[in-house]
């Protein structure tokens, strides 16, 4: 179960398929993301889910990033975490926001989870593929901090861009990461070159 809090994502990752999946122009998706829900909307939906017996954690976010640059102005993610907790549901944060995303770790409990996407080792490669996302070391620092605070952690190696980087990132993060998810690069020609 997931909630996409924004209509687009300002991280502008080259491999992103969000605009295609949401039937938006890529420029609008990347350069003009807006909040698509309010914390009140999330609370009301969560209450309905809870009445229906929902117990799964809610993923923030899948097609967008809950700690993309615009979120710093709105602090929508913090409000939505509080709303979901108020309704009795837990959350999974998935973000490339790096240290921007640890602002809300104080709200997370051992029943919640924190995850980040890791794709590249070098800052140069990261800036090419994910121009406005946090750099790799910052994302690693953020997930390490979540682990230190007793929050369940995981890493999404999705998409795998350079397999050797994925292996190196795994070796670097395994002491403080609970599990990993690995995915191929879809909707981009580079993906066809990866075994």
CATH number of the domain to which 62 belongs = 3.20.20.70
Segment among 8-12, 75-79, 119-123, 186-190 with least mean pLDDT: 186-190
Q: Which residues contact 111 (CB under 8 A, 6 or more apart)?
A: 57, 90
Can you give the pLDDT at residue 127? Answer: 97
Can you give the pLDDT at residue 30? Answer: 83
Average pLDDT score over residue span 103-111? 95
Helices assigned H by DSSP within 22-162: 26-31, 39-51, 71-74, 76-86, 123-129, 136-148
Residue 190 has pLDDT above 70, yes or no: no
Can you give the pLDDT at residue 62? Answer: 85
Residues of the domain holding 169: 2-193
Count the neighbouring beta carbons within 10 Å of the beta carbon of residue 116: 28
CA 22 – CA 27 distance, rounded (Å): 13
- Structurally, the chain folds into a number of domains equal to 1
> Residue 76's pLDDT band (boundaries 50, 70, 90)?
very high
pLDDT tens digits, residue range 120-166? 999 999 999 999 999 999 999 999 999 999 999 999 998 999 999 99
The CB-side HSE value for 131 (13 A sphere, CA atoms) comes to: 8
Can you give the pLDDT at residue 183? Answer: 75
Can you give the pLDDT at residue 192? Answer: 61
Q: Which residues contact 10 (CB under 8 A, 6 or more apart)?
A: 30, 31, 33, 68, 69, 70, 132
More confidently predicted of 109 and 24: 109
Q: SS3 helix, strand, coil % of the chain, rounded to 5?
A: 45, 15, 40
CA 131 – CA 53 distance, rounded (Å): 40
Q: What percent of the chain has pLDDT over 90?
A: 68
Can you give the pLDDT at residue 187? Answer: 63
Average pLDDT score over residue span 44-63? 91
């Amino acid at each position: 179960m997931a909630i996409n809090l924004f209509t687009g994502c300002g991280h502008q990752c080259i491999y992103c398929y969000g605009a295609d999946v949401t039937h938006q122009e890529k420029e609008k998706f990347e350069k003009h993301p807006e909040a698509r829900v309010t914390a009140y909307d999330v609370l009301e939906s969560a209450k309905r889910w809870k009445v229906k017996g929902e117990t799964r954690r809610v993923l923030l976010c899948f097609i967008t990033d809950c700690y993309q640059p615009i979120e710093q102005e709105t602090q929508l993610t913090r409000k939505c975490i509080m709303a979901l907790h108020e309704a009795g549901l837990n959350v999974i944060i998935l973000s490339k926001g790096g240290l921007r995303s640890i602002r809300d770790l104080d709200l997370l409990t051992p029943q919640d989870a924190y995850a980040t996407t890791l794709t590249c080792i070098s800052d140069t490669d990261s800036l090419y593929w994910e121009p406005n996302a946090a750099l790799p070391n910052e994302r690693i620092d953020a997930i390490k901090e979540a682990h230190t605070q007793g929050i369940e952690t995981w890493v999404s190696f999705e998409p795998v861009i350079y397999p050797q980087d994925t292996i190196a990132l795994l070796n670097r993060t395994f002491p403080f990461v609970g599990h990993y998810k690995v995915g191929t690069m879809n909707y981009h020609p580079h993906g066809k070159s990866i075994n």
